[in-house]
Structure 1
Amino acid sequence: MLQKNLQSPYRSNADIRYLSLARCNLERVPPVFDQRDTNGRPLRQTVEYLTLYGNNFKDISAPGVQYDIMLNATDVVETHLEYAKFGEKSIWSTGFQYTTFAVLREFDLRACSIEFINGLIFKGMPNLEALYLGENNIKYIHGKAFVGLNNLIHLDLSRNKAYDKNGGLTSVTMESADLFERMSKLRSLDLSFTEMGRNVRVLSGLGKEFQRLSLCGSKVRSVPEKALSGTSMKYLDISGNYGILENSNILAGLEDTLEILYANEVGFEHFHYLYKFSKLEVLKLTNNEVMLITKRVVASLTSLKVLDLERNRFGSWIPPIFSTMPNLRFLSLKDNNLNLISAEIIDDIANISYVSLSGNNVVCNCHSREFIDLAARNDNEQKQTLIDLSIHTDNNTLKAIDYHIAESEFNSMIELRANISTICDTEKCKKYYVDRDHRFLIIDYDIHSYVCFHEYKNRFMSFINVKTCKDWQRSLEKVRNLDTSTNLVLLLTLPTTLLLLLLIIFIYRRKFGYFFVTMRNSATLSLISRTDINEEGKIYNYDVFVSYCNGDRNWMLDHLLPHLETECSVSVCLHERDFQVGLSILENIVSCMDRSRTIMLVISKQFLRSQWCQFEMHLAQHRLLETRREDLILVLLEEIPRSLRPTTLHYLMLTKTYIVWPKVSSEQTVFWKRLKKSLVVQQRKYKNTTLA
């Protein structure tokens, strides 16, 4: 059929430059290149562009093939013997392997199910400039596979899915580390979505003319140190290789050449990798971990025009940052951690042509509204222009080398953006912002994307519904200029309220005083250790600890002490006699109470006016509750009216039987009998002997 078409009298006499055998269900390349056209010239001498796209050149395993590991002689690297044997027996390429193509410039072998690339199969294509081997199943490439391609400029090995003998995905095996070294004119290499594994060592063989590399999605964690430093790299895509920057310095040596860098989803955190990349024009870092941008680094990016930081962790910054990059025209901070838009931030992005701040958790303020209004005003007054990147056009090279997706990607966003000039009244915007020389436009405005959280209203609202800064100022002026009647009400209300408060404090001064004393004592008691709790069988030093005030000292020494120690044979602990010198008063009180069987409180009006006495009363109650003891005796030297009783005393008087000192001498005998009986009962409760 091909020969018939070549010899057809209806075909022109022009040479056949384009030959397509795409999707012909071929299982091997047919040997048709010696067939001649009407001029008598064979195809191998005229064809410049040849495509075999979409055929099925899958090699079939020969019976009895053994699987093993060998070391090849050209480079110490593990090679599967399976691949070496298949390489020798691979027959899909026999139709052109021994044919010389005099003028062939481009050869398309994409999507042909190719598994093995033999050595020297392209040696008859000395003028080939572009070789497309993408979308295959290449699992092995011979160390001399590309020998003879001395003029090759672009090599496509993208989207290859290699499968092992068990059907699992595996990385392609490249036999030699110097696979690309012989191609001195190679300028472009596409390895995107082809699992490289340890084969990244071949990158060290890229030459001085090399400019363009894509490792997107190649599962590369690291590359050899300064592997690309000997190239003239302009376009580099390392997206999808998480940790590649942390584990290797792949950017080393590219400071003076790199123009476009795509590094999405690589775990990028720190901008110090990009210091002094003075020719970098496009930087795409989406889906990374950027939190901070240092002024020192961005100031060195003097040629940067596009900065895409979408879906990072970048928050509100302290300007100037972006204004230090004189050529920046496109900035995306979409879906970051920006929580505040300030006047300084707006000034920092004033001269950037296109910005995106959507998807951030912004707190509403008047500057968020100002950001929208300024962009709407600019949409009304200026025309959008596309971004012009410094892509170097060389008529003698392939278009694929000159083209990069970056320019069309970001310019498409600009062309599709919505004009928002109608959301702000033109005259109002001009009047409000007449003195603001900001020229930015919003790339992705949507009323549902540009929302902020209003703290006072406790809900989210659109930027455009927030008050303008001038409205905020007017509201503040209204507050400052309250009318005279309102001020008079405030002036009258505040003194009246204050007087009422003072009156309440005066009336209930005793209760307030007692409250503060109680709080202080409670705080002190909370510091006391609870480890010294009375246990059964404890030895006591005293029978009774007596708490009294200094005003009742005479009664204590003249009446109580002689009666207890002489007539009742009771050992008494008194603070002025038995407190240990050198310890704090608090420590002595606690210690003496714990070493006494019974606590006796001698209550009088003077006792209640003493802060130390009140503290001892609180402590007595606290310790008794803590140790679950009932050993407390209340002695009232006089009747205490209810109005004078603190809460603690009132509670004790309600829960304890107390005894009152009689003023009539004839009744004092009964008093002493009752008191002695109470002490004797307490002594009998404990079998231990007093040590005092």
Structure 2
Amino acid sequence: MHAPRSLLLLPAIIMCHFMTGQHNCVAIHKKTSCQVQGGRADCSHLRLKAVPPNLPRNITGLDVSHNDLKALPPGSLAPYPLLLHLNVSYNSIAKLDQGVCRTLPLLQTLNMAHNVVHLLNEEDVSLCTNLTRLIMASNKLLLRGEPFSALQSLRVLDVSMNKLESAKLGSRPQLPHLVSLDLAFNSFTTLKKGDFSFLRHSPFLQILNMSSVLLKKLEPGCFEPISGLRALIMDGSNMGTQVISKLCSELSATAIDSLFLRKTKLITLTKATFKGLKETNLTFLDLSRNDMEKIEGGAFSWLSRLHTLILTDNGIKLLTNDTFKGLNSLRSLQLTKALVKRHSTPIIEDFSFRPLIALESLILQRTAIHDITENTFTGLSSLRELDMSWSSCASLRNINNKTLVSLSGSPLLKLNLTGTAIARINPGSFFFLRNLTTLLLDFNFIKQTLTGEEFEGLNRVEELHMSNNHQTVNLSSRSFVNVPDLRLLNLGRSLKAEAVNIDPSPFRLLLKLTVLDLSNNNIANFRENMLEGLVNLKVLSLQHNNLARLWKTGNEGGPLLYLKHTPSLTTLLLDSNGLDEIPAEALRGLSNLREISLMNNLLNSLKDSIFDNLSSLRVFDMQKNLLTAVRPRVFKAPLRNLSLLLMNKNPFDCTCESMLWFVTWLNDTHGTRVPGLRDQYLCNTPLAYFNRSVMDFDGLSCKDMTPFQALYILSSTAVIMLTVTALLVRFHGWRIQFYWNVLINRTLGFSDAKADEGREFEFDAYVIHAEKDADWVDRWMALLGNDLCRFCLEDRDSIPGMLKLNSIVDNMRKSRKILFVVTETLLRDPWCLR
């Protein structure tokens, strides 16, 4: 198939670009004036009556298609002498003025499709010597003389849908560089021997499109002048088997490589249908949409060089071991909707594919097969891809070790069993597919607990898809023990809610896993070690579950920090999980994260540091939450290098404290794309900004608050300090006074006596006690007192005849220390209180 791909691309582009107009292949947006960009002016769909005269003079492309032009006077194009491409399709122009090419000497592409041009004379385009593409599709052409003889550089000519009565566009050789000729949807029914004689000297011609031309007769030698032809498109021609046989015979002398015979009413393929192609190098054949019911044995035996065969959308009832006989070089066979159940179920006999020894890709999408036996695919020794998605086959509902045993001799890499109504996979079902790297089991009805034996033998599988299962699958700790090389695992909308809440985790052995999809499973609980060991995981999809409780502060054991085991994560999807809280440590360590999606949750108040580690973030999605404020302490770090921000549909509080920083950031940023900024980022409060865009928020009003904010800070500080001082004085005033007196006394030199002052003390300590404690103090002083330690007691050692206060002071001076005997009685003593 590799050889004709480039050939297929060109007719596809031609048919879209020139038959329907280049702007008909894309969505049309309303506009009110011409749009000029990159040297091209787009003035389509403006209901213009004439070419606009006020466009830049240096434009090289002009599109005035889909307007109301009645003529194309050369004077209207005079202001644009550098034009290379001119599109005037879908207008009402009746004639191509010969002065157009005189005014535009550099013109390379002229598109006049879907106009009302009738007569085309030789002088009309005689000056268009630089034209490489001329599109005259869907007009009412009547060719007079040799209108294309001067176009020596033309590579693409489209005269389709013009009701031409003959394929002969000239009588003498011309168009020496023509590559593609489009004659589709014209009225001729016969190809005469000399019809293409005008292309006898056109060695570059490769593509001929005669779709929907109702050919009934082909004269011998009709393709002889264009023997270098590589691709012939005959779609929708309704020729039938006999005319197609004749067509193949006439193509035998050409270099035909690709043949398109779609919708040609080729209901039966006989053994002689393609006999004329035996000597050709045909590598691509498309027979789709023919309602084909029968293929005789050996019908393809003449096509030994064929690489690609497309039989899509037919009604084949039976494939036998002779159906594909002779296709020794076939690499791709497409049978999508080729075997469809109508009156009976189509049958694929044993060894039907055995002749296809070089086949690499077999597509059996949306087919109905009676049964798959132990020899259905026998002989496909080169098969690398088998696609049976959305097919109906009773054998696939309960897969066992015999269902696909016929593939044991195939080096199969990809097996697609999507939507095949599989209900159970038995142990060893894929044991023979030891080269398999991709297994797709999406959209089935599997209902079982995966023990790991189901995937026995799949040691090389890297992708396993089991999403959107109509039943529920349960997992065990050994579910994936036989697929250690797994890199992508898709289990979205397939599992029981408690399937992953097991220990040890079913994913612990998947050390190479990079993508894990557990979305849409209503998972509410799992263990913190569920992702343990997945050090290479890059994409984690957990959206549409019920994970809110796992991150709540009140969760038993605290928030579950399950992401700490995935340091390589680059994409994290947590949409629609009912999250109303994110722990401060939840995203810690995810320095490689480039995309995070928290859309459609209940997030409002976010901790200041939760996004601080996301310095590599490029896509940030927090749509449809309950965010009222976008504070810099939360969002400054993740928004620093962002490419795409999605924070719309939140109830924003448009006040200075909540939105000033965010609005300033939106006005200053240029590298971040913020879709829907004007109409989806709306204020909810206050009333003055209700339902208005956040971009309407006036940040200048916040500057008037600066003096009041300073006054508020000062007054608040003063009140707090006054309160603290009052409390200190009330409860610790005596301490403050004591230390103050000590500080003053020491500053003024009234410090305690020191040994170097030469001062002598009579007592070691002066004892102060309550009067009621005298007996207790006397007893203890008697026990402690000796010649080395003398205590002064006021009742015993007071100086007779001296005032009590003076005596106390004098004895204190004679004592080295003052010893307080603190008791409850002392604290109530009148002297202590004073």
Q: TM-score range by the shorter chain?
A: 0.3 to 0.5
Q: Taking structure 1 as the reference length, what is the TM-score of the superposition?
A: 0.47
- The structure where helix makes up a greater share of residues is 1
Q: RCO greater where, 1 or 2, for CA within 8 Å and sep 6 or more?
A: 1
